[in-house]
Amino acid sequence: MNLIFRLIGIILEGFFRKKLHPLSESVLNLTVLPNDLDLNLHMNNGRFLSLMDLGRLDLLIRTDLAAALFRHRWQPLVGAVNIRYKVSLLPFQRYRLRTKVIGWDEKWFYIEQRFERKNRTIAVGLVKALFRGDHRNISPEETLRLIKVHIDPPKMPEKILKWLSMEA
């Protein structure tokens, strides 16, 4: 249930927080709540993925992409996630979720999402995502054109290239 309240909070706050450039970083300050815990009394591995959805939503809202996607009835879809857990998050610990687009190709956006606490990395996720509408995939170039942003893709990070080669 607390995920619903977090979702509503992200949506409402997103409209009042500073707008972001598509290559800027979204930062959410969060707390481990009792509903986030597993039997080992640390944040459940699945909860990390759910919270990553909220980080990407914050980025969509604050770059004005969410409104444009809604108007065109395009849906964000995740094609793959690779996450590495380094340290546990315990009940009521505060942490940050950082979300940033780190590259794209002709089909996919690549997003890095970092969970941090006191300048220490807790977990790092890489996400491969796209937008879909009218029974077709929407290219990153067309997506950015929708919000009148014309930028060349950044150089693809080595970690993404390695991940893609492992997927092949």
pLDDT along the chain (168 residues), means of 10: 86 90 95 94 95 96 91 94 96 98 96 97 97 93 88 92 90
2 falls within a domain: no
pLDDT (0 to 100) of residue 81: 97
- The length of the chain, given as a count of residues: 168
Domain with 56 in it: what CATH number? 3.10.129.10
User: 32 CB contacts (<8 Å, ≥6 apart)?
Assistant: 42, 43, 89, 90, 91, 92, 93, 95
The first and second tokens of residue 8, run together, are 């509503």
Evaluate whether residue 5 is within a structural domain. no
Residue 50, token pair as written in the block: 């759910």
Give the DSSP letter of residue 66. Answer: H
Q: What is the pLDDT of residue 138?
A: 94
- Judge whether 12 lies within some domain: no
Per the structure, the count of domains in the chain is: 1
Query: Is 19 contained in some domain?
Result: no
Distance CA 99, CA 78 (A): 14
The whole domain housing 55 covers: 24-167
Asked if residue 16 is part of any domain, the answer here is no
What integer pLDDT is reported at residue 1 of this predicted model? Answer: 57
Would you say residue 1 lies in a domain? no
| CB atoms near residue 115 (< 10 Å) | 26
The angle formed by the CA atoms of residues 66, 70 and 71, to the nearest 5 degrees, is: 120
Domain assignment of residue 11, yes or no? no
Is residue 90 a part of any domain in this protein? yes
